[in-house]
Amino acid sequence: MTNSDKIKRLLGVFWSRVWKDPELVNGLSEAFAHEWDQVEDSVVNLKDYLSRFTIPLGYRRDWSRYRLEITGLEPRTATVGSFVVGDSTRVADPEDPVAFDTDLALLDVESISEKPVNPTITLEKGVHFDLKDGILYFHDITLLNTFPRIVSVNTDGSPSEFVDLWLRNSRVEDMRLKDHFGFVFELDVTSTEKCRRMLNAAWDLRVQGATSSNMNRMLAAITDCDICEAEGIVGASEVRDERLYVTVGSREYSAPSVYSSIVSAGDLLMEGDPIFDSFEILDPNSPIDEADIPAISLDASLIAAKYKDGLVFVNKDVALTPLYTEDVTVPIFEIGGSEEAVELFREDLKDKLVATGVDLWSLLTQDQRYPYTINPFQFVSYNFLANNMKYVIFKSVSLDLNMLKAGTSFLLDTIPAGTSLLIFQVTESIVSGFDSSNITEEIEVSQSLDGQELFGTINEGGSTVRQP
């Protein structure tokens, strides 16, 4: 039933040889053949919909008809030039293509014709039009003049004009993965591909626990990237349709093209290894480059209940001077924030040093020569944030907020009690002075920091003893 010639033979001699309109019979036979081919393709792929790993990313259609309204579309030159859409004037040229939102949730399309059988007009993707985020971009609007027009009369008596576009070999977003599996986690994700990454990462985190590979998988899913799923040797890489593809073993992994590959051809990767530089996990116990985290802005709630404002600690050496008091020498260094918050921090530090009897000034200066310096970010990291803490940096300035919200929620639910993540998103801002709004957008995902204060018990080892 997927062969038009066989369908015509099944109709009999009258319709194939006697009937005076053979083109109509041929068209109907072709239409039936394409319809049954679509049904057969759906049945063959039905088993793939039973697994969260194999469910197809979009529904394939051999031919799809889309009726495009062109009422009021009036090209003013033969090829490139101005035209009117409604009350606005646009220009059609390859540098400023005309965009039409198809409302088909298109993922891909091979070509566009005026009819599916024996077409005389064929527009090729990448030559005559492009597709991005479900929107068709025509390089030359006058190409639509070659399509037959359909005119209908509205209820108010005004006419509307349309052209029928037949889309060849298209893939349409159908969100079956979200409907079949994602409702369990209440995912609010609009792309099947993104949903599959997030769903699989969430499933593994919930079932298998917060292992290193599962944490990497979730962080990669937030940034719309793949991680290595099976041991293999890194092969070739290429950019297609604004995504970077890297082959590892027999599999192909991808990420948005704004990221880069952190692996090289010939490298051996194991399951759970990151492939792209969309995120980075840093250890507060180790030196962290200023380029990675120029400063840390701690909200008042992360310091102590009595603080009204947060504080900023830059990741660079600043002058270290002593404040001599009757009981202890307090190290003084530059801190960003309101004057009240900074003074409160220094008073708290003094009280802790008096209570513990720790000579912090000597500890900080014993291996230095005058003039003394200190890195405020490292000081806070080593002394207050290092216990069971990791820093995660997302390298994109335009993360999908739905993915970020869902992913951080899953991480919060699954990381072990007594551990914490501080998650940073890179911004386009430049660090200027100590204005925390110019440093980084910070999202705190933690179980152990909830309700806790920054000031713990400072010991002579320089770390913080924090109760889970």
Q: In terms of domains, do 143 and 160 share one? A: yes
Q: Is residue 199 part of a domain?
A: no
Domain count, the chain: 4
pLDDT at residue 440 in the model: 35
Q: In terms of domains, do 305 and 264 share one? A: no
Q: Is residue 281 part of a domain?
A: no
Greater confidence (275 vs 386) lies with 275
Q: Is residue 196 part of a domain?
A: no
* Confidence band of 291 (pLDDT split at 50, 70, 90): confident
Q: In terms of domains, do 253 and 137 share one? A: no
Q: In terms of domains, do 83 and 130 share one? A: yes
pLDDT in tens, 380-426: 888 777 667 788 888 876 677 778 888 888 888 888 777 777 777 76
Q: Is residue 357 part of a domain?
A: yes
Q: Is residue 2 part of a domain?
A: yes
Q: In terms of domains, do 303 and 414 share one? A: yes
Q: In terms of domains, do 153 and 301 share one? A: no
* Confidence band of 203 (pLDDT split at 50, 70, 90): confident
Q: Is the pLDDT of residue 275 over 50?
A: yes
Q: Is residue 195 part of a domain?
A: no
pLDDT in tens, 261-274: 999 999 999 988 99
What value does the mean pLDDT take over residues 180-184?
Answer: 65
pLDDT at residue 397 in the model: 63
Q: What is the 3-state secondary structure (H, E, C) of the chain?
A: CCCHHHHHHHHCHHHHHHCCCHHHHHHHHHHHHHHHHHHHHHHHHHHHHHCCCCCCCCEEEEEEEEEEECCCCCCCCCCCEEEEECCEEEEEECCECEEEECCCCEEECCEEECCCCCCCCEEEECCCEEEECCEEEECCHHHHHHCCEEEEECCCCCEEEEEEEEEEEEEECCCHHHHHCHHHHCCCCCCHHHHHHHHHHHHHHHHHCCCHHHHHHHHHHHCCCCECCCCEEEEEEEEECCEEEEEECCEEEEEECCCCECCCCCCEECCCCECECCEEEECCCCCCCCCCCCEEEECHHHCCCCCCCCEEEECCCEECEEEECCCCEEEECCCEECHHHHHHHHHHHHHHHHHHCCCHHHHHHCCCCCCCEECHHHHHHHHHHCCCEEEEEECCCCCCHHHHHHHHHHHHHHCCCCCEEEEEECCCCCCCCCCHHHCCEEEEEECCCCCCCCCCEECCCCCEECCC
Q: Is the pLDDT of residue 75 over 50?
A: no
Q: In terms of domains, do 145 and 45 share one? A: no
Of 174, 192, 214, which residue is a domain's last?
174
pLDDT at residue 186 in the model: 65
Q: In terms of domains, do 304 and 361 share one? A: yes
Q: In terms of domains, do 16 and 65 share one? A: no
Domain span including residue 256 = 225-276
Greater confidence (59 vs 267) lies with 267
Q: In terms of domains, do 314 and 418 share one? A: yes
Q: In terms of domains, do 318 and 455 share one? A: yes
CATH number of the domain bearing residue 242: 2.40.50.100
pLDDT at residue 4 in the model: 59
Q: Is residue 383 part of a domain?
A: yes
